Each structure stands twice: as structure tokens, then as C-alpha cells.
Amino acid sequence: MRILRLLGLLLPLCILSACTQPSNSAASHSQASAQVAAKSFTWIDRRPIGTMFLSNGTAYTPNNPRKWLNARDLDLSTAAGKEEFRKRMIALANFSITHLKQIDAQGVLVFDIEGGEAESGEYTWVGDPRLVGERAPEMEEIADEFFQTFKKAGFRVGVTIRAQFMFPYPTPLPRRWWEKDKNLARYWSYRTDEEAIEGISKKIAYARKRWGATLFYIDSNNEKALSVIEKLQQKFPDTLLIPEHTGKNPAYLGFSAPLERVDRWKYDLNTEHRKQHPSGFKAILIRNPKQFEKLYQQSLYDYLLPKVQAGDLLMINVWYPDEYHEVVRKLYRTAYGDRCCTWNPNNRRL
């Protein structure tokens, strides 16, 4: 009986004591936060990135099936036509460099180095630089010279990497091709995260080795597969990964620069997210800015200023003159003054 009474007295004390101890879940959360902080990557250069879309448009012709430069007069079936293509591309690179210098950009990201072949734009980018020779032999001949033009001018270079694998397809693709060939569509996504990491790594490694690329837009990624982007960043720590889809999950800030498109979706980081990832930032793609201003009744400058001041970087087209280049210049001058544009881990401008 004495033992039972003693247990009766001790049991409440044990329960009370247990209630005052840190829970396993709290400890796990703290440990996870520490791991996230330890894995956070550092990319202190927050200058803008110029973007280029080389095959943007609907100018498909049998002699220019990749719709390069939206030029219906290009005839890539002849040697003279290919030489004309080379001249125009290198001229475009040099023309774009003038705009990169105007906005004090850190580099240029080419979204479609493999060209685009859909009839009416249903399909966009291949996102596999290894396939340039197969999909766009005319670009294969000049791609090295094209990227070297930017590198000689002191700019980083980058390309699109599709987070899916390419399957052979006819040229040009028929309209709404994914509805006509279910097997083709079904085999696009990698089956596992491990396969995705391996497949995407090979694409990145190729572009790094051939062109010295360090800027990568990750197209059509699975936003729930955070570990894929995280492992890629660990594998290539000196590269900047810009995933298209993140579901606005702040964890992505620890190992990438999540994409925001001002013409598609807003993505505002709250103060807590900034505190969790003091070195984290977004890459904000400026497309259709007039559409944005009309829709939200707000100037692009007013919308972007607090984001640039908080460390986000901007991306804007540079292959043609754009009145918003001056807006970008003004944003960075206001945010950084004359010392543009590095960022330290304490979230303070240097």
C-alpha cells in the first residue's frame, strides 16, 4: 500500500516535470532551423540580370523552323543563310551588351538557346543545352562564339534548364500535341527526386563546362520537391538557381532565388521570412510592366523599390531598348546609392 501511495504522489510530479521539458517536435524544429541556416547559400551580387528570348514569336517558316529572331527572311538551309544568322546573332549579342552596361547587370540569361519549334507557342523551351546540336544545328555552330561575346565583356552567362527530360518529337510540333500523344506527355517528368537530381545535374554540368554558365532558370520544376533544388545547389555551390515554381514556400530561400513574375504572380516576403533567411532573395522577372501598372494601378517603381531595398534582384529583357531600363537604374540607385550592389548576411547594404 505504501508503494502504491508513493507512486500516486510521484506520478503527478513526473507528468508535471514532463510538461516542463522541451517537446521532441520543438527540438526537431529548432534543429531543422539550424540546418536550414547552415545550408543557406550566399550570392551577394544583387545587380540585375538581363534576359534574352532568341526565338520568341510566331515566325515559323520551313527555312527557319526554330523561329530565330522572329525573322521570316532567314534561310538556314543554305550556307549563306547560316552565315547571315551568325552575323545577326553576334550583332544582337553586342547590341544587348550595351543595355547590360546601361543597367549595370551582372550577367545575361538566355531562355531558349535550343530555339522554339511549336506552331503557335504551346511549347516553349527545350531547357537542355546538350540537345543544341540535335535540335538546332545552326545554333550549335555559333553558340560558343555567342556566349563568349558576353563573357569577354565581363558578364556572367546562363541558360534555361527544364526540370523534366526531353523526348524525341516531330518538327514542328502539331497544335495541342500533348492531347494527341498521351505517351509522349506521360514520360516528361522524372519518376523520382533522385532521377531528377541526376538528370538536371547533367544539363547544368554541360552548360558550365562548355560556356562557363553560372545562372540557371529552372523551368517547370515540381514545387513540392524542395530537395531537388537544394541538392542541386549543394552540388553546384557557385551557381545561382532560379526555380519557376516554389509555392511561395520560404524554405526555397535557403538554397535558391525563387522566381516572381510581375505580370503573372506577386510574391511578397514577410518580415519573418526575411529573418529566417537573411541572405535569401527573390529573382523578379519584369515582363509586360505596363500590363502590371494598369492591372494594379501602381507604378512598377513603387512596387519594386521595397523589394530591391530588401535584397531582391531584378531581371529584364535586354535584346531591345526598353523604357523600363531607366526604371531599373533608378531603383538600384535609390536602394544602393553609389556602392552597387552587394548584400551581406546581416541584410544590410554594404
- Residue 91's φ and ψ, nearest 5 degrees, are -65, -40
Residues in the chain, how many? 350
| Domain count within the chain | 1
Query: pLDDT at position 26, please?
Result: 33
Percent pLDDT > 70 in the chain is: 77
Q: Is residue 301 part of a domain?
A: yes
Q: Is residue 17 part of a domain?
A: no
118-173: pLDDT as tens digits: 554 445 678 999 989 988 999 999 999 999 999 999 999 999 999 987 665 555 55
Distance CA 54, CA 127 (A): 13
CATH code for position 85: 3.20.20
Spatial CA neighbour of 255 closest among 225, 284, 273, 232:
232
Q: Is residue 39 part of a domain?
A: no
Range 220-224 average pLDDT: 92
Domain range holding 131?
45-336
68-92: pLDDT as tens digits: 999 999 999 999 999 999 999 999 9
- The predicted model scores a pTM of 0.83
The yes-or-no verdict on residue 11 having pLDDT over 70 is: no
Spatial CA neighbour of 110 closest among 315, 349, 332, 281:
315
Q: Is residue 28 part of a domain?
A: no
The sheet that has 107-110: what strands, in order across it? 240-243, 215-219, 156-162, 107-110, 49-52, 313-317, 283-286, 259-261
Q: Is residue 22 part of a domain?
A: no
Q: Is residue 13 part of a domain?
A: no
- The region that residue 347 occupies, defined by phi over 0 for left and psi between -120 and 50 for alpha, beta otherwise, is left
In whole numbers, what is the pLDDT of the chain averaged over residues?
Answer: 82
Q: Is residue 37 part of a domain?
A: no
